[in-house]
Amino acid sequence: MANEGMDRRTFLKLGGLIAAAGAAMPASQLLVTSSMASSATTSQMQYSMTVDLNKCNGCKVCEQACREENNVPDLEAVYGEDAKRYTPYWIRVAEMKQDLPGAEERPLPLLCQHCIDPPCVHVCVTKASFRREKDGIVLIDEHRCIGCRYCVIACPYRARTIVFRDNPTPRDEQNKKVPAMMLGVATKCTFCAHKDLDAGELPACVEACPHKALTFGNRNDHKEKVARQIADGNVQVLRPNLEVKPNVFYMGLSKNEAALEKVLG
């Protein structure tokens, strides 16, 4: 469970991360993977996801499904390439490439990792970012967020963006089960927390994936597939050296890829 405060070691880690982000490091330098899986939370339930890269072909169906379900505007599609820099996203399929001659690019779905010890929560000055105690999902209270961007900088996975533009899709064409996005606040994946996850509903990206590359469930329930996949040990988390204990696990990375990944775009 995340500590209420921040000890010197954690502070120094975040300080280094913020300095790196401030220097505009590309995503290629932000992602490192390891065969070490993060330790389980002590709560009875912890929602987690596995991503099987052997099945993912980069079709980006998950991206579109997420946008439609959660009213995440695709501003680039409406306003062109110039809008890419301020287009919010909850899940994105990046391209990764080993730093080796002749290495091929591979798709890598990236989203909020719903860490057990999330840096974004530690740095939030208004306590708008929080980890939901009952199931470990990291959420944002938009009414408390002031858009300071501390969480955006602190996130090791580049999983947060700021909402700079209104959704061009008319409200009556958006998903009524999800509020319209507020301007000037941080946004990110919620594992589709508005759904009845406890009753077996799944995040939109998991439902939509035509290749069944994504699996979701309670990692503390051995009867669930996601728990068995994690327990098998053939999974890796991104940037384990930061010890934030992510709850998104990747399958299908080679040992070389596990040591260092370059993510493009």
Q: Render pLDDT for 144-190 as a digit per residue (tens, 0 to 9).
A: 999 999 999 999 999 999 999 999 999 999 999 999 999 999 999 99
The pLDDT score that the predictor gives to residue 147 is 96
The pLDDT score that the predictor gives to residue 177 is 94
Instruction: Using alpha carbons, select from 190, 164, 194 the residue that is nearest to residue 178.
Output: 194
CATH of domain 8-264: 3.30.70.20
User: Each residue of 233-248: b (16+ CB within 10 Å) or e?
Assistant: ebbbbbbbebebbbbb
The pLDDT score that the predictor gives to residue 12 is 43
List the single range of 40-44, 67-71, 231-235 with lowest mean pLDDT. Answer: 40-44
Q: Delimit the domains of the chain by residue range.
A: 8-264
pLDDT digits (tens, 9 = 90+) for 103-121: 678 899 999 999 999 999 9
Instruction: Using alpha carbons, select from 97, 92, 39 the residue that is nearest to residue 235.
Output: 39
CB–CB of 119/156 below 8 Å?
yes
Distance, in Å, from the CA atom of 53 to the CA atom of 58, rounded to the nearest integer, reads: 9
DSSP labels, 3-32: -SS--HHHHHHHHHHHHHHHTT--GGGT--
* Band of pLDDT at residue 256, cut at 50, 70 and 90: low
Instruction: Using alpha carbons, select from 168, 205, 164, 171 the residue that is nearest to residue 186.
Output: 164
* Band of pLDDT at residue 240, cut at 50, 70 and 90: confident
> In sequence order, which ranges of the chain are alpha helices (DSSP H)?
8-22, 61-70, 75-79, 119-123, 150-154, 204-208, 225-232, 255-259
Q: Which residues, at least 6 apart from 103, have a Cβ–Cβ distance to it below 8 Å?
A: 97
The pLDDT score that the predictor gives to residue 24 is 38
The pLDDT score that the predictor gives to residue 35 is 37
CB–CB of 31/109 below 8 Å?
no
Is 80 exceeded by the pLDDT of residue 43? no
| Residue 142: Cβ-neighbour burial (10 angstroms; 0-12, 13-18, 19+) | middle
The pLDDT score that the predictor gives to residue 40 is 44
Is 80 exceeded by the pLDDT of residue 41? no
The pLDDT score that the predictor gives to residue 263 is 53
List the single range of 47-51, 78-82, 213-217 with lowest mean pLDDT. Answer: 78-82
Is 80 exceeded by the pLDDT of residue 22? no
Is 50 exceeded by the pLDDT of residue 138? yes
Is 80 exceeded by the pLDDT of residue 30? no
The pLDDT score that the predictor gives to residue 194 is 97
Beta bridge partners of 129: 140
Is 60 exceeded by the pLDDT of residue 220? yes
Mean of per-residue pLDDT scores for the chain: 84
Question: Amino acid identity of 173?
Answer: E
Is 60 exceeded by the pLDDT of residue 28? no
Q: Is the dihedral of CA 156, 158, 159, 161 positive or negative?
A: positive
| pLDDT cut 90: percent of the chain above it | 66
Average pLDDT in the 215-235 region?
A: 96
* Band of pLDDT at residue 99, cut at 50, 70 and 90: low
